[in-house]
């Protein structure tokens, strides 16, 4: 965190993501309602909120895996391949006979038929070293612990060399040491001018490492510098605002 917050942004100018009155949902029921704001290029934003607040839904939409049912998500200068998404509890078949190196290298941007040259292999080795998994290249993926699996997935993220990264609860089931290591990686990536958005539960972690926070409770409670957002007042409001889907809800007036 030695760099000024703007140095990375300057390098990655025009690669942030902006939301314009975005409504997201399933079967017409909104999970996220009329959200506007932006994730500036080169920033690191945490998305916080109670369960059912629509955090994962927003993450999917930011990654392009879910179309908004209203409003628009503007990704200027960001082609789909420049966006990387780490879903919550990635659905990896851990019984598949594949080793860690192959898994990591599958993130390489060489297309489906491109050759995996020496350069790609070297960068995969570097990615493995960066996440602390050197020596694990030939381990089967099924032999890794939960924390090691998450490290492997971070190495694969690194291979994707994305400018906009969306991570959904990346530290949900990993210990403090792994969380600290992987957070350091996130900060390194931000320093390289990448834009990072992460769904997180641990408010202490957010306060310590994320300058910007979006507090979500199906609607925006607060969005801005973390110290202004994570106040006792806002958190209490977020808890009150998160309620269950209303099956008989009328059509939204604001949608018109």
Partner 1 sequence: MHDLFIAPFADFAFMRRALVGAVALSLSGAPLGVFLILRRMSLSGDAMAHAILPGAAIGYLVAGLSLPAMTIGGLAAGLVVAFGAGLAARATSLREDASLAAFYLVSLALGVTLVSLRGSNIDLLHVLFGNVLALDDSALMLLSAIASLTLLALALLYRPLVLDTVDPAFLATTTRAGSATQIAFLGVLVLNLVAGFHALGTLMSVGLMMLPAASARLWARRLETTLALAALFAVLAAYIGLVASYRLATPSGPSIVLAAGAIYFLSLIFGASGGALRHFAPRRHLEA
Under the binding rule (CB under 8 A), the answer on residue 103 touching partner 1 is: yes
Among 3, 72, 96, 175, binds partner 1 (CB under 8 A): 96
- What DSSP state is assigned to residue 204? H
Q: How many angstroms separate the CA atoms of 62 and 56, rounded?
A: 10
Q: Closer to partner 1 at the Cβ: 143 or 173? A: 143
Q: How many angstroms separate the CA atoms of 124 and 230, rounded?
A: 38
Q: How many residues bind partner 1 (CB under 8 A)?
A: 23
Nearest-approach distance from CB 36 to partner 1, in angstroms = 25
Among 38, 99, 192, 219, binds partner 1 (CB under 8 A): 99
Residue with tokens 């020596």: 135
Contacts with 73 (C-beta within 8 Å, 6 or more apart), sequence order: 17, 18, 19, 20, 22, 61, 62
Under the binding rule (CB under 8 A), the answer on residue 180 touching partner 1 is: no
Please name which of 121, 165, 144, 146 lies closest in space to residue 12, comparing C-alpha atoms. Answer: 165
Among 85, 164, 189, 223, binds partner 1 (CB under 8 A): 85
Under the binding rule (CB under 8 A), the answer on residue 90 touching partner 1 is: yes
Strands 44-48 and 212-216: parallel
Among 23, 45, 56, 160, binds partner 1 (CB under 8 A): 160
Q: How many angstroms separate the CA atoms of 40 and 243, rounded?
A: 30
Under the binding rule (CB under 8 A), the answer on residue 51 touching partner 1 is: no
Contacts with 13 (C-beta within 8 Å, 6 or more apart), sequence order: 41
Under the binding rule (CB under 8 A), the answer on residue 139 touching partner 1 is: no
Under the binding rule (CB under 8 A), the answer on residue 140 touching partner 1 is: yes
Q: Which stretch binds partner 1 (CB under 8 A): 28-36, 39-47, 77-85, 216-224?
A: 77-85
On whether the CB atoms of residues 163 and 79 are closer than 8 A, the answer is: no
Among 112, 204, 251, 256, binds partner 1 (CB under 8 A): 112
164 DSSP β-pair partners = 83, 195
Q: In three state form, how does the secondary structure of 169-197 look?
A: CCCCCCCHHHHHHHHHHHHHHHHCCCEEE
Q: Which stretch binds partner 1 (CB under 8 A): 32-40, 58-66, 204-212, 235-243?
A: 58-66
Count of residues in the chain = 256
Under the binding rule (CB under 8 A), the answer on residue 87 touching partner 1 is: yes
Nearest-approach distance from CB 253 to partner 1, in angstroms = 33
> By the criterion CB under 8 A, which residues form the site for partner 1?
63-65, 81, 84-85, 87, 90-93, 96-99, 103, 106, 112-113, 140-141, 156, 160
């Amino acid at each position: 965190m030695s760099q000024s917050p703007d140095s990375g942004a300057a390098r990655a100018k025009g690669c942030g993501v902006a939301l314009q009155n975005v409504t997201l949902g399933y079967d017409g029921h909104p999970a996220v309602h009329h959200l506007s704001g932006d994730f500036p290029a080169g920033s690191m934003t945490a998305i916080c909120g109670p369960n059912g607040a629509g955090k994962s839904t927003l993450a999917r939409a930011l990654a392009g895996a879910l179309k908004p049912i209203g409003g628009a998500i503007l990704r200027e200068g960001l082609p789909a391949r420049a966006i990387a998404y780490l879903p919550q509890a990635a659905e990896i078949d851990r019984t598949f006979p594949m080793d860690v190196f192959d898994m990591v290298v599958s993130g390489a941007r060489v297309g489906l038929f491109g050759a995996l040259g020496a350069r790609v292999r070297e960068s995969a080795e570097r990615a493995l070293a960066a996440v602390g998994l050197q020596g694990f290249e030939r381990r089967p993926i099924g032999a890794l612990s939960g924390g090691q699996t998450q490290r492997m997935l971070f190495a694969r993220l690194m291979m994707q060399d994305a400018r906009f990264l969306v991570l959904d609860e990346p530290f949900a089931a990993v210990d403090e040491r792994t969380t600290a290591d992987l957070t350091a990686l996130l900060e390194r990536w931000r320093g390289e001018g990448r834009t990072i958005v992460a769904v997180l539960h641990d408010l202490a972690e957010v306060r310590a490492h994320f300058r910007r926070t979006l507090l979500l409770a199906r609607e925006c409670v607060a969005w801005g510098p973390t110290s202004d957002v994570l106040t006792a007042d806002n958190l209490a409001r977020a808890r009150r605002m998160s309620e269950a889907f209303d099956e008989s809800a009328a059509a939204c007036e604001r949608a018109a």
